[in-house]
Amino acid sequence: MLIAIVVNRMVMALLTLAGVAVVVFVLLRVVPGDPVAMMISPGAGPADIAALKAHYGLDAPLLTQFWIWIRGVVTGDFGTSITLHLYVTEVLASRLQATLELAILALLVAVVFGGGIAIAGTLMRRTAGETAIDGLNSIMLAVPDFIWALALVLIFAVALPVLPLTGRIDPDLAQGFATKFYLAESIVTGRFAVAANILSHMTMPTLALALPLAAMIVRLLKQSLKEAMVQDYVLLARIKGFRELRLVLQEALRNAIGPTIALTGVQFTFLIGGTVIVERIFAYPGIGNLAIDAVINRDFPLIQGLVLLFGLIFILINIGVDLTVATLNPRLRHA
Amino acid sequence: MRDPKVVCAGGFILLLIVVAIAAPLVAPKDPLAQNLLMATTPPAGFPGAEPGSLLGTDGLGRDVLSRVIFGARVSLTVAFVAAGLACLIGSLLGLLAGFLGELVDALISRLVDVWMAFPPVLLSILLIAVIGTGLHSVIAAIVVIDWTRFCRVVRTETKSQAQMDYVVAARTIGFSRPAILFREILPNIVPVLIALLTLEMGIAVVVEAILSFVGLSVSSDTPTWGGMIAEGRQIVHEAWWVLAVPLVALFATVVAFNQLGDGLARSLDPVLRR
């Protein structure tokens, strides 16, 4: 049945992406601001403007523009960025890796932090320790990545100036990379000093993205674990004389983790959305930061490419989550 | 309703509303008055503090406390108007999707799916770029993005309510469909809606701050928390309070709306109340 789920989700995904494409295209064409007006020099005459418009295909009828754009997208051509004078695909391909590394690192940190605290809270249930975790977590749940990012700036820029405030890597170290996956590559090739430098740059943006998700994982996983801990199979294991930690990790966790995986997957898409503002705050050179510049500069082709890319990432994550949940749930697997 | 969380959070929001309305009376100084001779003086109690500026001054010598007080006006306006409109539109579509049968449901649900494929921050910035900056644009952007939150919840609630005996009974008696929808089902969804609305207000405050931070909200001569945060971020090494003060205000407001929403959800839900 997994194949049926995949096919169904793929068709839905394509429909959604097509919808996204139409919405973005229409939205950008009703903009009163003219992108060409922003790029010409003050002395340019009407003829220059017309020539520039023709160059970027902005003089054609809307339907023609849409057709040209869609035909390009299908063949992997997203057009040329108006402000950067580079192919949109090139720009995206050089920026996406930074965001992916950041988002995945943040996801890992959130799972480890959140999972660890949820397990600790389960072990401490009905004690003052659990009350403390619950109280703190109820506040953590309200705090978005934007506030975390700036709070971290205050802590690490003023009180404890040990971390670099901006960027992805010290400029003099950003050489000799074969890929744009700086962190993964420096670890794989054993350049640990470089990796440490990258990690110090990534610490604050990672924490800002990870902490809100960690708080959600704590709440849901602890709840599921506590429910699992009073089930008969845990009681049986307890009678066998298993230690408490083993009861939680070996008996309860396996049965309680399903909802948390589904939640983490959905929230991962929000985490990636959050990279937009968090990358901005830390001047981190990913696609999120790029997106804000693209919008401020009214760079139509770049905006269209970025939004479709974000949409595609979201859809892929959703499919991945559905598949993981279906694989883990025996009832769905045999349905 | 005697939940201390609800009382504290509600009290804080009420206080904030009063301060925002009475801003010209409460604020010690003109929030726009510049004084470059008194730029970046620290808050009271720190060396070099000026007696007149309790929470210090910013890079242009403007009084931080007065600016935070006036900034609350923008934040609260956005919180109430944007969240209210999003709630209205989202709930209406959710009620229709949940009640009018397969075709309408499929249409609205697909629309919600497409909508939610956009990263919210990106969509809001995109919208602002399209419709221009300003308070109206910020509110419009929040409504256009966040109606889906209400729509999804209300649709699910409506569907489950529509299965209940009292709806079947109303149908049997021969109530019209609008009557069933608005007089029978809607009142049973209101508690969920109020909690959701409160949570949405917290979200709206943050979105406004983010848009001000990026420079896409109201013009820079109106003090906003996000705008102050953006300035403070630039001069954080010289004057941390310019960032810290509006950030604490934002944090407290968001947490208060959140705790209030949580508490209301608990005390309005007959199952959880027990």
Dihedral sign of CA atoms A137, A138, A142, A147 in order: negative
Stronger pLDDT, B100 or B248, i.e. the higher one: B248
Distance of CA B47 to the CA centre of its chain: 37
Please report residues of A whose CB lies closer than 8 A to that of B231.
Answer: none
Residue at A62: amino acid letter: L
Answer whether residue A292 shows pLDDT above 50.
yes
> In 3D, which of B74, B75, B77, B53 has the Cα closest to residue B65?
B53
Contact A206, A105 (CB under 8 A): yes
Model pLDDT, residue A215: 95
pLDDT confidence bin for A334, thresholds 50/70/90? low
Work out the average pLDDT over B239-265: 92
Contact B247, A146 (CB under 8 A): no
Dihedral sign of CA atoms B73, B78, B79, B80 in order: positive
Buried b (16+ CB within 10 A) or exposed e, B78-91: bbebbbbbbbebbb
Model pLDDT, residue A84: 87
Work out the average pLDDT over B125-143: 83
Work out the average pLDDT over A319-333: 73
Candidates A15, A17, A25, A150, partner chain B, best to mutate (most B CBs within 10 A): A150
To the nearest whole Å, the CA of B211 is away from the closest chain A CA by 10
Measure the CA–CA gap between B133 and B130, rounded to whole angstroms.
Answer: 9
Model pLDDT, residue A221: 94
Measure the CA–CA gap between A207 and A156, rounded to whole angstroms.
Answer: 12
Record: contact A15-B110, CB cut-off 8 A: yes
Interface contact B21, partner A, CB < 8 A? no
pLDDT, tens digit, 9 for 90 and up, residues A9-58: 788 778 878 877 887 778 777 665 565 655 566 666 777 777 777 776 67
Record: contact A16-B113, CB cut-off 8 A: yes
**Mean pLDDT, chain B, as a whole number?**
87
ipTM of the prediction: 0.87
Candidates B114, B144, B207, partner chain A, best to mutate (most A CBs within 10 A): B114
- DSSP label at A12? H
How large a percentage of chain B has pLDDT more than 90?
Answer: 40
Write out the two tokens for A53.
Answer: 């418009």
Please report residues of A whose CB lies closer than 8 A to that of B210.
Answer: 146, 277
Buried b (16+ CB within 10 A) or exposed e, A120-130: ebbbeeeeeeb
Please report residues of B whose CB lies closer than 8 A to that of A157.
Answer: 236-237, 240
Work out the average pLDDT over B147-176: 90
Measure the CA–CA gap between A309 and A316, rounded to whole angstroms.
Answer: 11
Work out the average pLDDT over B47-60: 81
Q: Which of B132, B206, B247 sits opposite A144 (nearest CB)?
A: B206
Contact B38, B219 (CB under 8 A): no
Task: Give the Å distances, CA to CA, from A308 to A279, A292, B170.
Answer: 19, 15, 47
Which of left, alpha, beta for B101 (phi over 0: left; psi -120 to 50: alpha)? left
Task: Give the Å distances, CA to CA, from B109 to A205, B46, B115, B116.
Answer: 34, 56, 10, 10
Task: Give the Å distances, CA to CA, from A255 to A225, A228, A233, B59.
Answer: 8, 7, 10, 56
> In 3D, which of A52, A271, A292 has the Cα closest to residue B216?
A292
Q: Which residues contact B54 (CB under 8 A, 6 or more apart)?
A: B28, B43, B44, B65
pLDDT confidence bin for A284, thresholds 50/70/90? very high
Record: contact B119-A276, CB cut-off 8 A: yes
Work out the average pLDDT over B150-166: 89
Measure the CA–CA gap between B29 and A259, rounded to whole angstroms.
Answer: 52
Q: Which of B129, B216, B240 sits opposite A158 (nearest CB)?
A: B240
pLDDT confidence bin for A335, thresholds 50/70/90? very low
Work out the average pLDDT over B230-256: 92
Q: Which of A143, A150, A295 sits opposite B229 (nearest CB)?
A: A150
Record: contact B255-A139, CB cut-off 8 A: yes
Burial of A254 (0-12, 13-18, 19+ CB in 10 A): exposed
Answer whether residue A103 shows pLDDT above 80.
yes
pLDDT, tens digit, 9 for 90 and up, residues B196-242: 999 999 999 999 999 889 887 777 778 999 999 999 998 888 889 99
Interface contact A309, partner B, CB < 8 A? no
Stronger pLDDT, B50 or B183, i.e. the higher one: B183
Q: Which of B210, B236, B257 sits opposite A277 (nearest CB)?
A: B210
Interface contact B259, partner A, CB < 8 A? yes
Q: Which residues contact A139 (CB under 8 A, 6 or more apart)?
A: B255
Work out the average pLDDT over A133-162: 90
Residue at A21: amino acid letter: A
Interface contact A160, partner B, CB < 8 A? no
Measure the CA–CA gap between A287 and B129, rounded to whole angstroms.
Answer: 18
Work out the average pLDDT over B96-119: 84
Distance of CA A327 to the CA centre of its chain: 23
Please report residues of A whose CB lies closer than 8 A to that of B250.
Answer: 147
Measure the CA–CA gap between B188 and B164, rounded to whole angstroms.
Answer: 11
Please provide residue B45's backbone torsions phi and psi, each rounded to the nearest 5 degrees: 100, -15
How large a percentage of chain A has pLDDT more than 70?
Answer: 92
pLDDT, tens digit, 9 for 90 and up, residues A160-210: 888 888 889 988 888 888 888 989 999 999 889 999 999 999 999 999 999
For A294, nearest residue in chain B (alpha carbons): B126
